[in-house]
Amino acid sequence: MIQMKEFTFQYDTGKKPALKNIDLEIHDGDFVGIIGNSGAGKSTLTYAINGIVPHYYPGDFYGSVLVDGMDTVDTAPEQLAVKVGSVFQDVDAQMVATYVEDELLFGMENFGVPKDEIEARLTEALQKTGIPDLRFREIDSLSGGQKQKVAVAAIIALRPDIIVLDEPTGELDPESSDQIFQMLKFLNETYGTTIIVVEQKVGLLCGYAKRLVLLEQGEIILEGPVREVLKNADRMEEIGIHVPRVVSLYKELVQRDLFRGEAPIGLEEAETMVREVLS
Amino acid sequence: MIRFEKVSFSYMEEGSTLQDLSFTIEKGSITALVGANGAGKTTLAKLIRGLIHPTAGRILFEEEDISKCKASTLAARMGYLFQNPDRQICKNTVGEELDFTLERTVQDPIERQRLKDDVLNALQLDPADEPFLLSRGERQKVALASALVHRPQLLILDEPTTGLDYKECTQIMEYVQALNRQGVTVVMVCHDMEIVLDYADHVIVMHSGKITADGKTRQILQDPTALTSSALLPPQIIGLAARLMADGYSGFEGICTVDAMATQIEAARKAVTA
Amino acid sequence: MKGLMNYFPGDTFLHRMDPRSKIVFSLLVCIACFVTNNIYVLLGILVLDLLIGVFGGIFTQALRLLKGLLKIALFLFILQALVMRAGTPAFYIGKLAITWEGLKTALMGVLRLIDITLPLALMISLTRMSDLSNALVSRWHVPYKYAFAITSTIRFIPVFTSDLRSIMEAQTARGVEFDTKNFFKKASLIVPLCVPLLISSVKKIETAAMAVELRGFNLRTKDSSSKVSQFHLPDYLLLLLGIGLIVLAVLI
């Protein structure tokens, strides 16, 4: 579980706090999507969870961030890393090896996974991310989507309870993006891994996440189950969030007093919504 | 404005190729190049700009063979925004960055100043800002500004909205659209079908180095086979309209926007209750 | 881009050998080349080098390498033959005598150059970088940080090369004349190119450092590697062959 209490952080290089008065609880097995405009503090929020803040980027740190009861300020990032796996925005930069297999071995070897366990964990991680066939491939030869999966597999091999991802689909086309989220959903549902993901593609995110956190200028504006947050489509559009068009339609239908139900997620639910209105 | 005549291209090292492409980009249009990762969109954009040359066939820009021109001298007439803004930003301030482009493309100093002020205003940029201290979105705006400050006849944008939030994205696209109305032809590589729907008037769909569809935006986006064969999804409202029509509801033909959809639903609802 | 020093995947007995024995063997061959004064030994080693190419399944690569080396070799050969003045003249170029001794020394020098370069280059083509660094760290106790620095550098070269290429394209698109044929003009354009490259590299390295640290880089010890390199019969045989070559070189 992650608990943030009155958490405020300002980078040494910053002119104002990157995050202000954050009170947030993320429970085990949750799938949380973090959305917001650029500069809203999304990346900083992920850094607070994996300990990059304040260990790597120093600054003024107020309040507390607890990961499974461990205070991130007092815990070394490596120690946190056993609990929290991180996937960064720049997928090329975070790779250390030339071959997929070595990429997965790197972390396991560092954390001293017993040598007789390594092979089993390696195959398991590749299996879970759906890329057993890539094991002996050269990383340079992979597509963007495949590289993302390798990055996640390398993290999964360390068996973290929580995985934090910063815009994993930033440079992917719609189909590859969807595949990444399917993989995250599988990990979340089958193994109970807590997923925290920063994402610009709100429509895609809504189809998979259980909860949304909306940040604006360092503060949490909205937070809750996806449908609850989507009820505030107006507010989101005002801030400049890319609300899925079917949700805008839902908002429009509610305003015209044609519909009273929940906000639809995806086309199928939108279709049901319209059928309901027209019945 | 741009005409491809049986153009093929292959990189020496890699297998990535374009095969036998023929199409025209009309003057004054906004054309979107869409397709999955690796379909060859960026390669096509670079061919148009003359950064790489076809291995077969020819590309005409205003009836002039592009491979006969030096890419650097075409800069005055063509602007190009790269996917990653950090590839092109090289000066210490936003103002100098714009000057860098203007020095190479515009002769008259008064005109330079006018163009510079204009773009700074439109994109709300501060000429004294240091580009490398700005956020990704802001840097993208700086890169865009320096690609179009000299008002080229043709503007080529490679995924102009990647890494931007929706607000920045609409701001950029609104400006591009405004320039287009003043006569700038735009070609953009884009993944976001909603953006394509909102801003482009032509769409070229690519799949594994071939053009699988080419036509007016609404016509292409409403053609389910044109998109799905290239692993693309139609914009949500168009997808919804298609589903409703498949369910047997009438009156949803050609509906693309939220407003039109809501109005049509309201009308249909009245018909049901009446 | 497949160039010098690139690993060529495969599963031959040379691929499977301990990286250490391959490195040591290459060094032994070097020593033998320096010790010997016999042209037949040098020719024999050249054949051996090509055999490595054959057994490693990279014969075409070996030939390409040889071709590249021959260009440099030819230049050195001519230079050496011209410089060596002593001995019996073989023929004259104008008034300049080219001696038999000169030709022989030149040939020996060229053969040495090729014989020394080939084995190491070929052996590296047959060895995965990670295996080499693992072996160096766990067996020879080279500090991991150094080994990591070297392997990362090699890994980042293609990344930076492609960055550089796209930066050049981006600047050309803005009217910077990278497409000029004038070398001096091109060189003066280097500034707009260096700044973006530097910025993107620094960013990449920062992310890389964070990512690596969060994956336990600082916890790593010399025993961390799960792939332990071990000497087997072929390794001993290869080393024996290397020593044999030196003995041969000394004796004849």
- Give residue-wise pLDDT tens across range A125-141: 999 899 999 999 988 88
Q: Which helix (H) or strand (E) holds B148?
A: helix B136-148
Predicted complex ipTM:
0.88
Is the Cβ pair C215, A89 closer than 8 Å?
no
Residue C136 lies in a domain: no
Q: Of residues B81 and C148, which shows the higher confidence score?
A: B81
Average pLDDT over residues A199-215: 94
Dig out the tokens for A222 from the structure.
């909205």
Number of domains into which chain C is organized: 2
Is the Cβ pair B170, A240 closer than 8 Å?
yes
Average pLDDT over residues C125-144: 83
CA distance C50 to chain B (A): 26
Q: C97 with C37, same domain?
A: yes
Q: A108 with A135, same domain?
A: yes
Q: C105 with C175, same domain?
A: no
Q: A32 with A73, same domain?
A: yes
Asked if B139 and B131 touch (Cβ cutoff 8 Å), the reply is yes
Q: A266 with A218, same domain?
A: no
CA distance C225 to chain A (A): 6
Is the Cβ pair B104, C199 closer than 8 Å?
no
Choice among B123-132, B177-186, C73-82 with the minimum mean pLDDT: C73-82
Res A46: pLDDT: 95
Q: Is the pLDDT score of C122 beyond 60? A: yes
Is the Cβ pair A96, C158 closer than 8 Å?
no
Question: In which band, very low, low, confident or very high, does the pLDDT at B16 lie, cut at 50, 70 and 90?
Answer: low
Q: Among B37, B194, B247, whose Cβ lies nearest the Cβ of A245?
A: B194
Q: Chain A to chain C, count of Cβ pairs less than 8 Å apart?
A: 85
Mean pLDDT for chain B overall: 90
Q: C107 with C171, same domain?
A: no
Question: In which band, very low, low, confident or very high, does the pLDDT at A208 lie, cut at 50, 70 and 90?
Answer: very high
Asked if A50 and A164 touch (Cβ cutoff 8 Å), the reply is yes
Q: C67 with C29, same domain?
A: yes
Residue C204 lies in a domain: yes
Q: Of residues A75 and B134, which shows the higher confidence score?
A: A75
Is the Cβ pair A90, C204 closer than 8 Å?
yes
Res C1: pLDDT: 35
Please report all neighbours of C, defined by 3+ CB atom pairs within 8 A.
A, B
Q: A72 with A200, same domain?
A: yes
Amino acid at C13: F
Q: Does B76 touch chain A (CB under 8 A)?
A: no
Number of domains into which chain A is organized: 3
Residue C71 lies in a domain: yes
CA distance C164 to chain B (A): 9
Q: A71 with A92, same domain?
A: no
Average pLDDT over residues A170-196: 92
Q: Does A15 touch chain B (CB under 8 A)?
A: no
Average pLDDT over residues A143-163: 92
Average pLDDT over residues C116-123: 86
Q: Is the pLDDT score of A14 beyond 80? A: yes
Q: Does C2 touch chain A (CB under 8 A)?
A: no
Residue A60 lies in a domain: yes
Q: Among B37, B231, B237, whose Cβ lies nearest the Cβ of A249?
A: B237
Name the percent of chain A lying above pLDDT 70: 100
Q: Among B83, B231, B262, whose Cβ lies nearest the Cβ of A175?
A: B231
Residue A182 lies in a domain: no
Question: In which band, very low, low, confident or very high, does the pLDDT at C77 lie, cut at 50, 70 and 90?
Answer: confident
Q: C147 with C179, same domain?
A: yes
Q: A154 with A102, same domain?
A: yes
Dig out the tokens for A78 from the structure.
């490596």
Is the Cβ pair C170, B80 closer than 8 Å?
yes
Res C192: pLDDT: 67
Residue A237 lies in a domain: no
Q: What is the dihedral of CA C170, C175, C176, C178, to 10 degrees?
A: 70
Q: Is the pLDDT score of C97 beyond 90? A: no
| Domain extent for C100 | 13-128+229-251
Distance in angstroms (rounded) separating the CA atoms of residues A152 and A174:
19
Is the Cβ pair A239, B167 closer than 8 Å?
yes
Distance in angstroms (rounded) separating the CA atoms of residues C186 and A237:
49
Kindly give the residue spans of alpha helices, DSSP state H, lying in chain C: 13-16, 19-35, 39-55, 59-83, 100-125, 129-138, 144-173, 183-188, 190-214, 233-251
Q: Is the pLDDT score of B123 beyond 60? A: yes
Strands of the B210-216 sheet, one edge to the other:
B78-81, B154-158, B185-189, B30-34, B202-207, B210-216
Res C186: pLDDT: 74
Q: Among A86, A95, A118, whose Cβ lies nearest the Cβ of C214?
A: A86
| Domain extent for A221 | 1-83+163-170+194-230
Res C4: pLDDT: 52
Question: In which band, very low, low, confident or very high, does the pLDDT at C2 lie, cut at 50, 70 and 90?
Answer: very low
Residue C134 lies in a domain: no
Tell me whether strands B78-81 and B154-158 are parallel, antiparallel or unpaired: parallel
Q: Is the pLDDT score of B264 beyond 50? A: yes
Residue C3 lies in a domain: no
